Amino acid sequence: MEPRILELRGEIDRINRELLNLLSERARIAVEIGRIQTELGIRHYDPVREEKMLAYLTAENDGPFSDGAIKKLFKEIFKATLALEERQDERKFLYSRDAKPETTQVKVKNAVFGGGPLLVAGPCAIESQEQMFQTAEFLAARGVKVLRGGAFKPRTSPYAFQGLGVEGLKLGRAAADRYGMAFVTEVMDTRDIEVVARYADILQIGARNMHNFALLKEAGRSHMPVLLKRGLSATVEEWFYAAEYVLSQGNGQVILAERGIRTYEKWTRNTLDLSGAVLAKQLTHLPVMVDVTHATGRIELMAPLARAALAAGVDAVHVEVHPNPKVAMSDNNQQMDFAQFDEFLSRIKGLLEPAPKEG
């Protein structure tokens, strides 16, 4: 190594040390300012103050860094400092494993999300008493503990079947009770939360409403378990923030559900983002479900992907099951009939035992 370079690197080392000392001193003072601001109820972030500091520094700067580079470096310092002040305020995100290292268990009737692999199953839409009782009886006999079924249906067209509404809620509740299951169903309007909460055990927030912040907050206030589906094209980060909306209302019972994201690929209904589900297991303490029905839209893919999801360590798998999918009022091609569900079950059975510590 060239001696002249070595010598100059010695200089750099000295400056690094001085920078470290100054940054630490600066941080200590900023934390003190933050403490005072919190006492006084003043917002920590003050863009005008930042503007002034940057204006001063760029006026003073005479290179070799450009003013832009100096601004960028100081903005990084401001950001790190703000993060420090906010951490001090204990404002860690409630969803994060940093805030709560142990996995949350959401207990609903006999089912425990986060306590070993679960199946959630049932028809897309609740259509009749016969349909719901047949399905619940069939599923309960196979050990499925959570019954799904839609009473309020989000439909692309206003003229498509919109669900049976409260009538459907009653049928779902009755079927679940008759066969000792928990009942999960979707809620789409803040004004419906009360009635849905009266009949269901778990409120589902659907993919299309993941960014419906009013609904998220109201679901948080309900103190019911909430099954939160990832939005059609939500980032993992946005999905966690949506959970935070519920959690921030004092409701810790959130189950995250990955159901495929929208991509250019056309041979599957959506693209299952299993990495997203694993990140949810790793970065949050919430139980995580994978919905292989909406993620694929193809029955022949559901068993392999359910195996994959369970092997990757998720807590639950969701599939749609209907006594007679060909005459179903929605999603005809992606609901399994009973024979298909039995075949599905036989193929994933080995993975329904408590998963090894993965993810």
Helix (H, G, I), strand (E, B) or coil at 287: coil
Residue among 116, 124, 138, 123 nearest 316 (CA): 116
Beta pairing class for 106-108 and 111-113 = antiparallel
What's phi and psi for 50, nearest 5 deg?
-65, -45
Nearest residue (CB) to its own copies, 83 versus 107:
83
Nearest residue (CB) to its own copies, 42 versus 177:
42
Nearest residue (CB) to its own copies, 174 versus 311:
311
- In degrees, rounded to 5, the angle at the alpha carbon of residue 82 between the alpha carbons of residues 40 and 59 is 105
Nearest residue (CB) to its own copies, 28 versus 178:
28
Residue among 187, 161, 184, 170 nearest 133 (CA): 170
- Helices 274-283 and 236-247: angle between axes, nearest 10 degrees: 40
CB of 81 to its own copies, least distance (A): 8
CB of 280 to its own copies, least distance (A): 11
CB of 165 to its own copies, least distance (A): 12
CB of 181 to its own copies, least distance (A): 27
Residue 139 CA neighbour count, 13 Å, CB half: 34
Nearest residue (CB) to its own copies, 141 versus 354:
354
CA distance 5 to 114: 56
What's phi and psi for 185, nearest 5 deg?
-150, 155
Nearest residue (CB) to its own copies, 70 versus 195:
70
Nearest residue (CB) to its own copies, 164 versus 261:
261
Nearest residue (CB) to its own copies, 98 versus 167:
98
CA distance 215 to 209: 8
Q: How far is CA 298 from CA 171, 274, 301, in A?
A: 28, 17, 6
CB of 144 to its own copies, least distance (A): 21
CB of 198 to its own copies, least distance (A): 18
CB 84 within 8 A of CB 270: no
CB of 272 to its own copies, least distance (A): 6
Residue among 269, 272, 271 nearest 331 (CA): 269
CB of 26 to its own copies, least distance (A): 5
